[in-house]
Structures are given as C-alpha cells and as structure tokens.
Structure 1
C-alpha cells in the first residue's frame, strides 16, 4: 500500500461448484461476483513529545524528529497551532509564556527527509508536503522519523522562570 495510489480497485471472481453435499453431481454451477476496494488517503503523525530548549548565547534552540505516515502515495498538509498565540496573544507569531505572563517569541520550522524546509506561522496550513517512500513511510516507533521540528527563540536576556507553549499538529491529505 505504501506505493499504491488512492482510488477504487476492482476485481472479478467466479466460484465453481460441481457436487452436492452427498457427492452426487449437480452439474457445473458458476457464481460470479465483483470485489471493490476504495483506498482513501490516510495520514498519521507520530513520535511527537516535549522539547527542552537549550540556551545558545542570547537565544535558545531545540529540535525534535517525528514521523508523518502517508498511505496511498498522497501529498499532505501540515498545520501547527500554538496555544499561547491562540488564547493569549491572538497573533500569527509563536511565543513561550511563563506564569507571570511574560513572553519569549520563537520561530518554528520543519524539514522533511527530502530536504524541504518550511517556516511556520501559527495556525497556517503548509501545503504540498510529499509522502516519504519506504522504509520511512512505516513510522515504526522512533526508528524511522522523516520530519524534523526546529525551534529557536529570539532574545532570552532577562528571562526568568519556566516558559511553555503547547503546539497542536494537524496533518490532512492534500
């Protein structure tokens, strides 16, 4: 299925019968039937987990590898929605927030295994990602991640406390 395409596949079959249950012949009987399989696009994301950012001079960075499985040889869209941006700032910028309502803006980008890199804005749909061919299409635990999430903050000078954001990833067929 990893190299197939979406659509309807059909096959015709014929069952032959030549005897009764007591072994007497009834002659040949044919029963034709058709089987149809409709392969719909299936997209699944896995391997996401918390990311701890590491200070790098004036900023902080972090990355994490995860997997997007796409059955049916289809392209997909990816959307990353920020809880802080949606509920507090109502902006397209990503930000971390601490308990005192202080914010640190950050940039988010994602690379796929083929080298495509896209910079994200909050809740913006990035279209046209290509599926990844075998063996990475299977997304078996963490052995075959095919996407890398990169985060880097703007200035962290003077920032104290624990800053957080919750991201929601949504993948859909393209």
Structure 2
C-alpha cells in the first residue's frame, strides 16, 4: 500500500464524507465491461428507419443547388429532406436564428444540409453520399475581431454586425463595490 492509499483510508478523511476517499460502485459498470450493456445502436425495432445527415464541408457558402435524385431512387431509402422541405421557422436560445436544415446558405463547417431516412444505416449513409450539392464559397470571419470588424461577412443576413444578442446585466451597487475594493 502506498502513502496515497494509506491517506485515503485514514479515518480522519472518511468522517462526514460520503464519496471522497471511498469506493463508489457504478450500477452500470459490470454490464459495460462485460459487453452486456445495451446502447441505442443495439436497439432494433421492426420497421425502424435509420437516419444520416449530409453536412457542409464549408464554413460559409451559398447553396446553389442540391440534387437528391440519386438518393431518392436508392432501394431502402424512405425519405430525403433538405431545408426547403422543413418548416421555415427558426429556433435558437436567445433569438431564433437557426433552421433544422440549412436554407440557402451554410454558416459553419458541419452545418446540416440534408437528411436521409432508410431501412439500413449503410443505405442511409450511401444515400447521403450520393447527394450532390453545389456551393458558392463565401468569405468567412474566423475570429471575434474579424467577425466584429466593419464590413465583415454576415453570419446571418438579418443580424447587422454579427451580434446575435446583446444585453446589460447589473446587480447591486457595482460602482460602490469597485470603489470599496481599491
């Protein structure tokens, strides 16, 4: 037993502590290490479909066209959607600024452009790979300074200055607190 183990087992470290210095059994440890645990990928329900998403390779680009015809013809493909097929309702934390799938423009590498539902995960991935998207790559801003500079490319055309949300937060007597801290 090394010094660290001895110190952790010392009664003065255990009094009043529920976790520190004690073994904490994990309810899911045995199933995980034995391979018996069930994960989402292990679940198979009759008639279940598998999804795959086509993501943008560009950080900022206009979507010129999307050709999903090859994906739609593939056996096992049940649905192919693009931003044009989704509700034109934005969502977001501070203000709505995102669509479920990109509409007209991608704003970051990995932005979701199209989605496929198929009877098998491999078919879904193959269908996504068959979708042809033509992009017009646009200039991007890759730092805060670039994004805030006058004339910077806009992430969202309806958000001047690339500021999604601005608010002031003040609680208590801030000025008095600063004076008292000197």
TM-score by length of 2: 0.23
**Of the two structures, which has the highest relative contact order with CA contacts closer than 8 Å and spacing of 6 or more?**
1
Which has the larger share of strand? Answer: 1
